Copies of this chain bind each other. A is one copy, B any other.
Amino acid sequence: MPVIPNSADYLRLIRSGDTRLLSRALARLDEVQIAALIVPLSPKEQDTILHQLSLELRSEVVASMRYEVSAQVISRLAPEEAARILDNLDSDDVADILGEIEPEQLRAILSRLDDRGELEELLAYPENSAGGIMSLDAARINEDVTIAEATRMIQQEAEELPGSVFYIYVVDEQDRLVGVISLRELVTSKPDVPIHAVMETELIYVTVETDQETVAELASRYDLVAIPVVDEQRRLLGVVTIDDIVDVLREEATEDILKMAGAGDGMASTMSFGASFKARWPWLMAAAVGGLMVAVSLQGFEDSLRTVPALALFMPVVAGMGGNVGTQSSTIMVRGLAVGLVETTRLGRVILREIALGATMGMLYGTGIALAAPLLGTTEADPVNLGLVITFGMVGSMMIAAGVGASVPLFLNRINVDPAVATGPFVTTAVDILGLLFYFWLATVLLQVGG
Protein backbone atom coordinates (compact mmCIF):
# COMPACT_ATOMS: atom_id res chain seq x y z
CA MET A 1 0.00 0.00 0.00
CA PRO A 2 1.60 3.29 -1.04
CA VAL A 3 2.03 5.66 1.85
CA ILE A 4 1.60 9.43 1.58
CA PRO A 5 5.10 10.78 2.26
CA ASN A 6 5.87 13.25 5.03
CA SER A 7 6.43 16.68 3.47
CA ALA A 8 8.64 17.79 6.37
CA ASP A 9 11.30 15.13 5.62
CA TYR A 10 11.59 16.27 2.03
CA LEU A 11 11.55 19.91 3.06
CA ARG A 12 14.74 19.26 5.02
CA LEU A 13 16.30 17.75 1.90
CA ILE A 14 15.27 20.74 -0.22
CA ARG A 15 16.69 23.18 2.31
CA SER A 16 19.94 21.24 2.52
CA GLY A 17 20.42 22.03 -1.18
CA ASP A 18 21.63 18.48 -1.85
CA THR A 19 19.81 17.87 -5.15
CA ARG A 20 21.45 14.48 -5.66
CA LEU A 21 20.05 13.14 -2.39
CA LEU A 22 16.67 14.77 -3.11
CA SER A 23 16.49 13.23 -6.55
CA ARG A 24 17.35 9.81 -5.12
CA ALA A 25 14.63 10.16 -2.45
CA LEU A 26 12.08 11.18 -5.08
CA ALA A 27 12.92 8.17 -7.25
CA ARG A 28 11.28 5.96 -4.63
CA LEU A 29 7.91 7.72 -5.04
CA ASP A 30 5.21 7.46 -7.70
CA GLU A 31 3.37 10.42 -9.27
CA VAL A 32 0.55 10.38 -6.72
CA GLN A 33 2.94 10.36 -3.78
CA ILE A 34 4.96 13.23 -5.23
CA ALA A 35 1.77 15.21 -5.86
CA ALA A 36 0.65 14.71 -2.24
CA LEU A 37 4.11 15.70 -1.04
CA ILE A 38 4.23 18.86 -3.12
CA VAL A 39 0.81 20.40 -2.43
CA PRO A 40 1.52 21.79 1.07
CA LEU A 41 4.90 23.29 0.02
CA SER A 42 5.64 26.86 -1.03
CA PRO A 43 5.76 27.67 -4.77
CA LYS A 44 9.56 27.80 -4.78
CA GLU A 45 9.87 24.46 -3.03
CA GLN A 46 7.30 22.93 -5.38
CA ASP A 47 9.34 24.05 -8.37
CA THR A 48 12.59 22.71 -6.86
CA ILE A 49 11.04 19.24 -6.63
CA LEU A 50 9.37 19.34 -10.06
CA HIS A 51 12.72 20.36 -11.53
CA GLN A 52 14.21 17.03 -10.45
CA LEU A 53 11.66 15.01 -12.45
CA SER A 54 11.57 13.86 -16.07
CA LEU A 55 9.07 15.64 -18.34
CA GLU A 56 6.84 12.56 -18.33
CA LEU A 57 6.79 12.16 -14.55
CA ARG A 58 6.34 15.92 -14.12
CA SER A 59 3.26 15.73 -16.37
CA GLU A 60 1.87 12.82 -14.36
CA VAL A 61 2.42 14.71 -11.10
CA VAL A 62 0.61 17.77 -12.50
CA ALA A 63 -2.28 15.48 -13.55
CA SER A 64 -2.44 13.98 -10.03
CA MET A 65 -2.83 17.27 -8.12
CA ARG A 66 -6.01 19.24 -7.50
CA TYR A 67 -6.68 21.46 -10.52
CA GLU A 68 -6.26 24.67 -8.50
CA VAL A 69 -2.75 23.62 -7.50
CA SER A 70 -1.88 22.30 -10.97
CA ALA A 71 -2.96 25.65 -12.40
CA GLN A 72 -0.67 27.49 -9.98
CA VAL A 73 2.27 25.28 -11.00
CA ILE A 74 1.50 25.72 -14.72
CA SER A 75 1.08 29.50 -14.33
CA ARG A 76 4.65 29.81 -13.09
CA LEU A 77 6.07 28.18 -16.23
CA ALA A 78 6.91 29.74 -19.59
CA PRO A 79 4.02 29.06 -22.04
CA GLU A 80 6.21 26.69 -24.13
CA GLU A 81 7.12 24.61 -21.08
CA ALA A 82 3.50 24.64 -19.86
CA ALA A 83 2.28 23.42 -23.25
CA ARG A 84 4.88 20.62 -23.29
CA ILE A 85 3.51 19.31 -19.99
CA LEU A 86 -0.17 19.76 -20.85
CA ASP A 87 0.21 17.96 -24.18
CA ASN A 88 0.87 14.79 -22.15
CA LEU A 89 -2.43 14.97 -20.23
CA ASP A 90 -6.01 13.90 -21.04
CA SER A 91 -8.04 16.69 -22.62
CA ASP A 92 -10.57 16.89 -19.78
CA ASP A 93 -7.80 17.37 -17.22
CA VAL A 94 -6.16 20.04 -19.36
CA ALA A 95 -9.47 21.88 -19.70
CA ASP A 96 -9.98 21.79 -15.91
CA ILE A 97 -6.48 23.17 -15.30
CA LEU A 98 -6.74 25.85 -18.00
CA GLY A 99 -10.10 26.89 -16.55
CA GLU A 100 -8.21 28.21 -13.50
CA ILE A 101 -5.62 30.24 -15.46
CA GLU A 102 -5.71 33.99 -16.19
CA PRO A 103 -7.04 34.89 -19.71
CA GLU A 104 -3.81 36.37 -21.06
CA GLN A 105 -1.61 33.47 -20.02
CA LEU A 106 -4.34 31.07 -21.12
CA ARG A 107 -4.19 32.43 -24.68
CA ALA A 108 -0.40 32.12 -24.74
CA ILE A 109 -0.54 28.48 -23.61
CA LEU A 110 -3.54 27.52 -25.78
CA SER A 111 -1.86 28.71 -28.98
CA ARG A 112 0.99 26.27 -28.30
CA LEU A 113 -1.11 23.17 -27.57
CA ASP A 114 -1.55 20.26 -29.99
CA ASP A 115 -5.30 19.84 -29.30
CA ARG A 116 -6.12 23.53 -29.31
CA GLY A 117 -9.47 23.19 -31.10
CA GLU A 118 -10.71 20.44 -28.85
CA LEU A 119 -9.72 22.37 -25.75
CA GLU A 120 -11.38 25.57 -26.85
CA GLU A 121 -14.56 23.54 -27.30
CA LEU A 122 -14.31 22.15 -23.77
CA LEU A 123 -13.42 25.52 -22.23
CA ALA A 124 -16.59 27.02 -23.73
CA TYR A 125 -18.78 24.99 -21.33
CA PRO A 126 -19.44 26.28 -17.79
CA GLU A 127 -16.92 24.87 -15.31
CA ASN A 128 -19.55 23.17 -13.14
CA SER A 129 -21.52 21.57 -15.98
CA ALA A 130 -21.26 18.10 -17.51
CA GLY A 131 -19.68 19.82 -20.54
CA GLY A 132 -17.07 21.36 -18.28
CA ILE A 133 -15.92 18.06 -16.79
CA MET A 134 -16.44 15.67 -19.71
CA SER A 135 -13.76 14.10 -21.89
CA LEU A 136 -14.26 14.14 -25.64
CA ASP A 137 -12.74 10.67 -26.05
CA ALA A 138 -15.86 8.53 -25.71
CA ALA A 139 -15.48 5.08 -27.24
CA ARG A 140 -18.23 4.97 -29.87
CA ILE A 141 -19.38 2.37 -32.34
CA ASN A 142 -22.14 2.06 -34.92
CA GLU A 143 -25.22 0.03 -34.00
CA ASP A 144 -24.98 -2.15 -37.14
CA VAL A 145 -21.59 -3.74 -36.48
CA THR A 146 -21.12 -7.15 -34.86
CA ILE A 147 -19.34 -7.94 -31.60
CA ALA A 148 -16.32 -9.17 -33.58
CA GLU A 149 -16.13 -5.98 -35.65
CA ALA A 150 -16.56 -3.84 -32.53
CA THR A 151 -13.72 -5.70 -30.82
CA ARG A 152 -11.50 -5.14 -33.85
CA MET A 153 -12.29 -1.44 -33.87
CA ILE A 154 -11.47 -1.13 -30.19
CA GLN A 155 -8.18 -2.92 -30.83
CA GLN A 156 -7.28 -0.56 -33.67
CA GLU A 157 -8.17 2.58 -31.75
CA ALA A 158 -6.58 1.35 -28.52
CA GLU A 159 -3.94 4.08 -28.61
CA GLU A 160 -6.44 6.92 -28.78
CA LEU A 161 -8.89 5.68 -26.17
CA PRO A 162 -8.53 7.07 -22.67
CA GLY A 163 -6.97 4.77 -20.06
CA SER A 164 -10.22 4.29 -18.26
CA VAL A 165 -12.61 3.04 -20.95
CA PHE A 166 -15.22 0.69 -19.52
CA TYR A 167 -18.27 1.25 -21.70
CA ILE A 168 -18.63 1.55 -25.47
CA TYR A 169 -21.42 3.84 -26.61
CA VAL A 170 -23.53 2.77 -29.56
CA VAL A 171 -24.71 5.46 -32.00
CA ASP A 172 -26.95 5.51 -35.08
CA GLU A 173 -25.94 7.02 -38.45
CA GLN A 174 -26.82 10.54 -37.15
CA ASP A 175 -24.39 9.97 -34.26
CA ARG A 176 -27.33 9.86 -31.84
CA LEU A 177 -26.78 7.77 -28.71
CA VAL A 178 -28.94 4.63 -28.90
CA GLY A 179 -27.30 2.18 -26.53
CA VAL A 180 -24.35 1.14 -24.44
CA ILE A 181 -22.34 -2.05 -24.07
CA SER A 182 -19.81 -2.69 -21.31
CA LEU A 183 -16.38 -4.08 -22.17
CA ARG A 184 -17.37 -7.06 -20.09
CA GLU A 185 -20.37 -7.76 -22.32
CA LEU A 186 -18.15 -7.26 -25.36
CA VAL A 187 -15.78 -9.92 -24.05
CA THR A 188 -18.49 -12.37 -23.07
CA SER A 189 -20.83 -12.06 -26.09
CA LYS A 190 -20.70 -14.26 -29.21
CA PRO A 191 -18.57 -12.67 -32.00
CA ASP A 192 -21.20 -12.80 -34.77
CA VAL A 193 -24.02 -11.14 -32.81
CA PRO A 194 -24.89 -7.58 -33.93
CA ILE A 195 -24.24 -4.93 -31.25
CA HIS A 196 -27.85 -3.74 -31.22
CA ALA A 197 -28.98 -7.22 -30.16
CA VAL A 198 -26.96 -7.17 -26.92
CA MET A 199 -26.63 -3.49 -26.07
CA GLU A 200 -28.42 -1.92 -23.12
CA THR A 201 -31.01 0.56 -24.40
CA GLU A 202 -32.27 1.90 -21.07
CA LEU A 203 -29.76 4.67 -20.97
CA ILE A 204 -28.67 7.05 -18.27
CA TYR A 205 -27.23 10.13 -19.97
CA VAL A 206 -26.91 13.87 -19.36
CA THR A 207 -26.70 16.94 -21.55
CA VAL A 208 -23.75 19.35 -21.65
CA GLU A 209 -25.68 21.82 -19.48
CA THR A 210 -26.45 19.35 -16.67
CA ASP A 211 -24.99 20.53 -13.35
CA GLN A 212 -21.97 18.47 -12.26
CA GLU A 213 -23.67 17.74 -8.94
CA THR A 214 -26.56 16.08 -10.78
CA VAL A 215 -24.10 14.03 -12.84
CA ALA A 216 -22.41 12.82 -9.66
CA GLU A 217 -25.79 12.08 -8.07
CA LEU A 218 -26.86 9.95 -11.08
CA ALA A 219 -23.56 8.06 -11.24
CA SER A 220 -23.73 7.36 -7.53
CA ARG A 221 -27.40 6.28 -7.48
CA TYR A 222 -27.09 4.08 -10.58
CA ASP A 223 -23.59 2.74 -9.70
CA LEU A 224 -22.10 3.84 -13.03
CA VAL A 225 -18.40 4.38 -13.77
CA ALA A 226 -19.11 6.73 -16.69
CA ILE A 227 -22.05 8.79 -17.95
CA PRO A 228 -22.38 9.80 -21.63
CA VAL A 229 -22.96 13.47 -22.45
CA VAL A 230 -25.24 14.41 -25.39
CA ASP A 231 -26.52 17.58 -27.07
CA GLU A 232 -30.20 18.51 -27.55
CA GLN A 233 -30.42 16.14 -30.55
CA ARG A 234 -29.09 13.36 -28.32
CA ARG A 235 -25.86 13.28 -30.35
CA LEU A 236 -22.97 11.83 -28.35
CA LEU A 237 -20.48 14.58 -27.43
CA GLY A 238 -18.34 13.05 -24.70
CA VAL A 239 -18.25 11.14 -21.46
CA VAL A 240 -17.85 11.98 -17.77
CA THR A 241 -15.76 9.29 -16.06
CA ILE A 242 -15.84 8.16 -12.45
CA ASP A 243 -12.53 9.82 -11.51
CA ASP A 244 -14.06 13.19 -12.31
CA ILE A 245 -17.25 12.21 -10.51
CA VAL A 246 -15.24 11.34 -7.41
CA ASP A 247 -13.53 14.75 -7.66
CA VAL A 248 -16.94 16.42 -7.88
CA LEU A 249 -18.20 14.57 -4.80
CA ARG A 250 -15.14 15.61 -2.78
CA GLU A 251 -15.34 19.18 -4.02
CA GLU A 252 -19.04 19.45 -3.21
CA ALA A 253 -18.52 18.06 0.30
CA THR A 254 -15.84 20.68 0.97
CA GLU A 255 -18.07 23.36 -0.53
CA ASP A 256 -21.00 22.39 1.67
CA ILE A 257 -18.87 22.39 4.80
CA LEU A 258 -17.28 25.77 4.06
CA LYS A 259 -20.60 27.33 3.06
CA MET A 260 -22.19 26.29 6.34
CA ALA A 261 -19.50 28.20 8.23
CA GLY A 262 -19.67 31.16 5.85
CA ALA A 263 -16.07 30.57 4.85
CA GLY A 264 -16.48 30.68 1.07
CA ASP A 265 -17.24 27.82 -1.25
CA GLY A 266 -13.86 26.45 -2.26
CA MET A 267 -10.38 26.28 -0.94
CA ALA A 268 -6.79 26.32 -2.07
CA SER A 269 -3.67 25.80 0.00
CA THR A 270 -2.31 29.17 -0.93
CA MET A 271 -5.51 31.14 -0.34
CA SER A 272 -4.37 34.72 -0.03
CA PHE A 273 -5.44 37.18 2.65
CA GLY A 274 -7.48 39.03 0.03
CA ALA A 275 -9.28 35.95 -1.28
CA SER A 276 -9.97 34.85 2.26
CA PHE A 277 -11.32 38.29 3.18
CA LYS A 278 -13.57 38.34 0.15
CA ALA A 279 -14.98 34.89 0.90
CA ARG A 280 -15.63 35.62 4.56
CA TRP A 281 -16.86 39.19 4.96
CA PRO A 282 -20.48 38.68 3.77
CA TRP A 283 -21.30 36.15 6.46
CA LEU A 284 -19.67 38.33 9.11
CA MET A 285 -21.66 41.29 7.81
CA ALA A 286 -24.86 39.31 8.29
CA ALA A 287 -23.71 38.36 11.79
CA ALA A 288 -22.82 41.99 12.62
CA VAL A 289 -26.23 43.25 11.51
CA GLY A 290 -27.79 40.45 13.56
CA GLY A 291 -25.64 41.43 16.55
CA LEU A 292 -26.78 45.04 16.32
CA MET A 293 -30.37 43.87 16.23
CA VAL A 294 -29.71 41.85 19.38
CA ALA A 295 -28.31 44.95 21.13
CA VAL A 296 -31.34 46.99 20.07
CA SER A 297 -33.83 44.37 21.16
CA LEU A 298 -32.27 44.00 24.62
CA GLN A 299 -32.11 47.76 25.24
CA GLY A 300 -35.25 47.83 27.34
CA PHE A 301 -33.60 45.63 29.95
CA GLU A 302 -30.84 48.00 31.09
CA ASP A 303 -32.65 48.57 34.36
CA SER A 304 -32.94 44.84 35.03
CA LEU A 305 -29.22 44.56 34.43
CA ARG A 306 -28.49 47.42 36.80
CA THR A 307 -30.49 45.70 39.53
CA VAL A 308 -29.33 42.12 38.87
CA PRO A 309 -25.99 42.30 37.01
CA ALA A 310 -25.63 38.52 37.48
CA LEU A 311 -28.16 38.18 34.66
CA ALA A 312 -25.40 39.25 32.26
CA LEU A 313 -23.08 36.49 33.42
CA PHE A 314 -25.48 33.83 32.16
CA MET A 315 -26.28 35.53 28.85
CA PRO A 316 -23.44 33.70 27.04
CA VAL A 317 -24.52 30.26 28.23
CA VAL A 318 -28.24 30.85 27.55
CA ALA A 319 -27.55 32.16 24.04
CA GLY A 320 -24.67 29.72 23.46
CA MET A 321 -26.60 26.57 24.36
CA GLY A 322 -29.43 27.78 22.12
CA GLY A 323 -26.95 28.45 19.34
CA ASN A 324 -25.41 25.00 19.74
CA VAL A 325 -28.67 23.09 19.64
CA GLY A 326 -29.85 25.30 16.76
CA THR A 327 -26.70 24.50 14.81
CA GLN A 328 -27.21 20.79 15.43
CA SER A 329 -30.81 20.95 14.21
CA SER A 330 -29.99 23.02 11.15
CA THR A 331 -26.96 20.88 10.25
CA ILE A 332 -29.04 17.71 10.41
CA MET A 333 -31.67 19.33 8.18
CA VAL A 334 -29.21 20.83 5.68
CA ARG A 335 -27.34 17.53 5.33
CA GLY A 336 -30.54 15.50 5.38
CA LEU A 337 -31.93 17.57 2.51
CA ALA A 338 -28.65 17.17 0.59
CA VAL A 339 -28.70 13.37 0.82
CA GLY A 340 -32.48 13.03 0.51
CA LEU A 341 -33.03 11.67 4.00
CA VAL A 342 -35.43 14.21 5.48
CA GLU A 343 -38.97 12.86 5.76
CA THR A 344 -40.24 15.68 3.55
CA THR A 345 -43.76 14.34 3.78
CA ARG A 346 -43.85 14.78 7.57
CA LEU A 347 -42.16 18.10 8.15
CA GLY A 348 -44.42 19.02 11.05
CA ARG A 349 -43.41 15.92 12.96
CA VAL A 350 -39.71 16.45 12.20
CA ILE A 351 -39.84 20.01 13.54
CA LEU A 352 -41.83 18.97 16.62
CA ARG A 353 -39.26 16.27 17.39
CA GLU A 354 -36.49 18.87 17.27
CA ILE A 355 -38.42 21.25 19.55
CA ALA A 356 -39.07 18.42 22.03
CA LEU A 357 -35.37 17.61 21.98
CA GLY A 358 -34.54 21.28 22.60
CA ALA A 359 -36.94 21.36 25.56
CA THR A 360 -35.48 18.18 27.07
CA MET A 361 -31.90 19.34 26.67
CA GLY A 362 -32.83 22.77 28.04
CA MET A 363 -34.46 21.24 31.13
CA LEU A 364 -31.45 19.00 31.71
CA TYR A 365 -28.64 21.50 31.23
CA GLY A 366 -30.66 24.47 32.50
CA THR A 367 -31.23 22.70 35.84
CA GLY A 368 -27.56 21.74 36.00
CA ILE A 369 -26.34 25.26 35.43
CA ALA A 370 -28.96 26.78 37.76
CA LEU A 371 -27.84 24.42 40.53
CA ALA A 372 -24.21 25.32 39.92
CA ALA A 373 -24.95 29.07 39.85
CA PRO A 374 -25.09 29.69 43.64
CA LEU A 375 -21.74 27.90 43.99
CA LEU A 376 -20.24 30.69 41.90
CA GLY A 377 -21.08 32.97 44.79
CA THR A 378 -22.92 35.58 42.78
CA THR A 379 -24.04 38.49 44.90
CA GLU A 380 -27.67 37.87 44.03
CA ALA A 381 -30.25 38.19 46.78
CA ASP A 382 -32.79 35.81 45.28
CA PRO A 383 -30.86 32.70 44.16
CA VAL A 384 -33.96 30.52 43.81
CA ASN A 385 -35.68 32.77 41.35
CA LEU A 386 -32.41 33.45 39.51
CA GLY A 387 -32.11 29.67 39.18
CA LEU A 388 -35.61 29.46 37.73
CA VAL A 389 -34.80 32.26 35.26
CA ILE A 390 -31.67 30.41 34.12
CA THR A 391 -33.40 27.03 33.85
CA PHE A 392 -36.47 28.17 31.98
CA GLY A 393 -34.49 30.74 30.03
CA MET A 394 -32.42 27.87 28.68
CA VAL A 395 -35.49 25.71 28.03
CA GLY A 396 -37.02 28.57 26.05
CA SER A 397 -33.83 29.47 24.24
CA MET A 398 -33.14 25.86 23.26
CA MET A 399 -36.74 25.18 22.15
CA ILE A 400 -36.72 28.32 20.02
CA ALA A 401 -33.29 27.44 18.64
CA ALA A 402 -34.20 23.86 17.72
CA GLY A 403 -37.45 25.00 16.11
CA VAL A 404 -35.82 27.80 14.12
CA GLY A 405 -32.78 25.64 13.29
CA ALA A 406 -35.01 22.91 11.88
CA SER A 407 -37.47 25.19 10.05
CA VAL A 408 -35.18 27.71 8.34
CA PRO A 409 -33.37 25.15 6.10
CA LEU A 410 -36.71 23.61 5.13
CA PHE A 411 -38.11 27.05 4.31
CA LEU A 412 -35.00 28.10 2.32
CA ASN A 413 -35.11 24.80 0.46
CA ARG A 414 -38.77 25.40 -0.42
CA ILE A 415 -38.02 28.84 -1.90
CA ASN A 416 -34.98 27.41 -3.74
CA VAL A 417 -32.28 29.17 -1.71
CA ASP A 418 -29.33 26.89 -0.87
CA PRO A 419 -29.89 26.15 2.84
CA ALA A 420 -26.16 25.55 3.37
CA VAL A 421 -25.36 29.20 2.64
CA ALA A 422 -27.99 31.19 4.43
CA THR A 423 -29.01 29.17 7.46
CA GLY A 424 -26.17 30.06 9.85
CA PRO A 425 -26.48 33.80 10.54
CA PHE A 426 -30.28 33.57 10.35
CA VAL A 427 -30.46 30.96 13.08
CA THR A 428 -27.85 32.60 15.33
CA THR A 429 -29.50 36.00 15.18
CA ALA A 430 -33.00 34.67 15.69
CA VAL A 431 -31.86 32.55 18.61
CA ASP A 432 -29.91 35.40 20.23
CA ILE A 433 -32.80 37.82 19.92
CA LEU A 434 -35.72 35.53 20.79
CA GLY A 435 -33.83 33.44 23.34
CA LEU A 436 -32.38 36.40 25.23
CA LEU A 437 -35.64 38.38 25.06
CA PHE A 438 -37.40 35.43 26.67
CA TYR A 439 -34.65 35.14 29.29
CA PHE A 440 -34.92 38.81 30.25
CA TRP A 441 -38.70 38.73 30.17
CA LEU A 442 -38.57 35.79 32.61
CA ALA A 443 -36.20 37.80 34.80
CA THR A 444 -38.58 40.76 34.80
CA VAL A 445 -41.45 38.56 35.91
CA LEU A 446 -39.69 36.31 38.41
CA LEU A 447 -37.14 38.71 39.90
CA GLN A 448 -39.54 41.67 39.85
CA VAL A 449 -36.91 43.94 38.35
CA GLY A 450 -37.83 46.90 36.13
CA GLY A 451 -38.39 45.80 32.51
Contacts and interface: CB of A to CB of B under 8 A. Distances in A.
Interface of A: 1-2, 4, 7-8, 11, 30, 32, 35-36, 39-42, 45, 64, 66, 151, 154-155, 158, 161, 164-166, 183-184, 186-188, 202, 204-207, 210, 214, 218-223, 225, 242-243, 245-247, 249-250, 252-254, 256-258, 260-263, 267-271, 273, 276-277, 280-281, 283-285, 287-288, 290-292, 294-296, 298-299, 302-303, 305-306, 309-317, 319-321, 323-325, 327-332, 334-336, 339-346, 353, 356-357, 360-361, 364-365, 368-369, 372-373, 376-379, 425, 428, 432, 436
Nearest to A252: B253
B312 A267 contact: no
Number of copies: 2
Contact of A1 (B40, B204, B428): B204
24 contacts: A36-B221, A66-B339, A154-B187, A158-B184, A166-B225, A220-B247, A250-B253, A253-B253, A253-B257, A257-B257, A261-B332, A262-B324, A263-B328, A267-B336, A277-B361, A284-B328, A288-B365, A294-B316, A294-B317, A295-B313, A298-B313, A299-B376, A299-B377, A302-B378
B331 A258 contact: yes
Nearest to A425: B324
Contacts of A246: 219-220, 242, 245-246, 249
Nearest to A354: B276
A306 to B, nearest CB: 5
B313 A361 contact: no
Nearest to A309: B305
Nearest to A338: B254
Contact of A295 (B151, B202, B314): B314
Contact of A42 (B207, B302, B346, B377): B346
Query: Which 4 pairs of residues, A with B, have the shortest CB-CB distance?
Result: A291-B317, A253-B253, A305-B309, A261-B331
Contacts of A314: 291, 295
A208 to B, nearest CB: 12
Q: Is the interface of A mostly helix, strand, loop or mixed?
A: helix
Contacts of A7: 344-345
Contacts of A243: 220, 223
Nearest to A183: B183
Residue with the highest number of chain B CB atoms closer than 10 Å, among A262, A325, A328: A328
Residue with the highest number of chain B CB atoms closer than 10 Å, among A206, A256, A299, A312: A312
A1 B161 contact: no
Contacts of A206: 1
B277 A340 contact: no
Contacts of A165: 184
A39 B369 CA distance: 40
A445 to B, nearest CB: 19
